[in-house]
Amino acid sequence: MSEWLYGALGDMDRNGSRPADLETMMPLGHLLELFVTTTDFYGYDRDLAIADPKLIHDHAHRHVLAFRYGEEDDHFTEPHNGALAFSARATSCFPGAFPPVSFELFATYLAQDGADLSELEPTFFRLYQLSRAEPRKTFFVDGGVLDNRPFGHAIRAVKRRPAESEVDRRLLYLEPDPAKPGPLPPGKSPSPLATVLGTVSGIPKKEPILDEIIEVSRHNERVRRIRDIIEMTFDPIAQRVEDTVGGDLGWLADSSAPDEVGRWRDRINDEAKSAAGLAYVTYIRSKVSGVVDRYARTICRLSNYPEDCNQAAFVRSVLRIWAEGRLFTERGGRAHAAEDQVEFLRRFDLDYGARRLRFVIDGLSWWYPKAGTDGVPARAELNQGKKALYDAREVLLQAMEGKHVPTDLTDEVLACFAQDPIDEWVYEQGLGPEEYAEEHASELALIEDELGKGLEKALSGFSESLFDRVRAVAQSWAPERRKDLLVRYLGFPFWDILLYPIQAVSDAGERDAIQIVRMSPLDATLLEQPDAEEPKLAGVSVMHFGAFFNRTGRENDYLWGRLDGAERLIGILLGDGHSEEERTKWCRKAFAAIAEEEGDVLTKAAPLLEKARSF
């Protein structure tokens, strides 16, 4: 039996090492995310808010269990072992081969081991709780029934990962049985029976990954557009920055005092505003909208609402309506003063600082290919600089999430966003977010005030010290490199006005291109099949059950998976700059090691083991 598997190996280290250093290459990152897709056989009720009627009723079957390590979460510890085991069992329930599983049934399997399932429902089925569903009473089967190609989860994980050294962003997906070119349409109408069978079971199972790959291609196009804008405008903006500060930044920055840097920043902001003209008003409005969306996500996180639950959607609607009256239009239709928007951005627009730091970090990343040559910092210096800047950025990201922010946002303050009052308002009273925002205006004002004061306290002095952090990164570098880095930092207001409209909808930076890599039997070609007359994998036959009752087939397919996987990963790590001889040399070592490890176990795969040993 074959099925799709996906890996978000987002940041592959590109340390520019010699091939001899291949053994030390490792995936990077502080964040590990494992997404397990399951299908709720019976499903559960969901109510969705639309324009008319206000609520529609639907039935959901797809459910994703998200396990995370990092960002203060660790779902790979002993208390979560039961949840991990349950997810593996549920996603293995291929219909017709393995029976569905429930919480209660699974608990009986683990009774003798004393496994703890108490974290399963509140941590991994929070969406059910908010929908007033009961996951303990339903049964789960393989997630591939509905969601056999979960590219979206992997892509989002890749885009969130920091990269403290040079990386390529890659999305690897495994496909044991890639689709082959199909026949042309025969030109005749299908029979009623063929139509039913095709629409119910045939066509859905052959859904292509075309849409997902096209979306990644669009993302990469936006990345290229951002890169083009930066390259075209870098020299003109660098000149404007130096004209504004009155000299060569490569030398001036060493002796500048904090108050002088503050004056530079203010003058550059005024220059950027003037250069933008009428576009500046649109830019500010877009930024306020983005900050309100971020503000709503923070409130949802503090209220423990997953992003796609009904309560989170209601909170977002309420806060957008509140922001319209608070920041844009007063009662009577008069426009709010721009000062109100600027003050709101000053307190809550932490995304701006995060974008600025990412922009400076991306500048460092461009120098890796020439690291250590001609006035370019060494690789270790670039890594050290990226880490320092990522650490500073992490402070902002944590604050955006409401973490480590000293506030009085107690349950009493957040009570207006508790589940019970929201559900009563929506389901029992049948009212919408407009009335809710008006009814709870005083509570919303209190939340804004408390969160604002907490952020100011948590980030006291952060902005003032940020330039010193950037300057410290480049302190020992050649003046030209120091200048390039400081131009990115000080000149960022110019670029943000140009780039924010693109980045607001794509969450893309100039270094965020994602390469898609398929891992399949067709893509690994070094080892020849022992029997050229037989299919490479036994499991692709009989609707992917060809090896299910055949131990020889299972051992053969398992071993091919290890060998082909090793070949593809070695090729990826070596990259295009190495010869076929180098790739073959490393694969020979890997094949021999795999054969040595598996030789005593895979007794039915002797011909393939011999091929691997003698390669």
What is residue 612's predicted lDDT score, i.e. its pLDDT? 92
- 64 DSSP β-pair partners: 37
- Classified as helix, coil or strand, 64 is strand
With beta carbons less than 8 A apart as the criterion, state whether 61 and 73 touch: no
Which position has the higher pLDDT, 24 or 208?
A: 208
Cis peptide bond prior to 53, omega within 30° of 0: yes
Question: Cα angle at 486 between 480 and 487, to 5 degrees?
Answer: 85
Query: For the segment 421-459, what is each residue's pLDDT rounded down to a tens digit?
Result: 998 988 888 888 999 999 999 999 988 888 888 888 888
Contact 420, 427 (CB under 8 A): no
Is residue 589 within 8 Å of residue 615, measured between CB atoms? no
What's the whole-model pTM score?
Answer: 0.76
User: What digits encode the pLDDT tens for the residues 207-251?
Assistant: 556 777 787 888 888 888 889 999 999 999 999 998 888 877 766
Q: Is the pLDDT of residue 560 over 60?
A: yes
591 pLDDT more than 90 = yes
| Average pLDDT score over residue span 16-28 | 33
102-151 pLDDT per residue, tens: 998 888 887 766 667 888 888 899 999 888 899 999 999 888 777 666 67
Look up tokens 């694969």; give the residue.
587
Interval 491-505 mean pLDDT: 87
pLDDT of 31: 59
Average pLDDT estimate for 546-551: 83
Task: Please identify which residue in the block is written with the tokens 């808010």.
Answer: 49
Query: Kind and range of the H or E element at 318?
Result: helix 310-323
Assigned token pair, 354: 């995060």
The residue count for the chain: 615
pLDDT at 25: 31
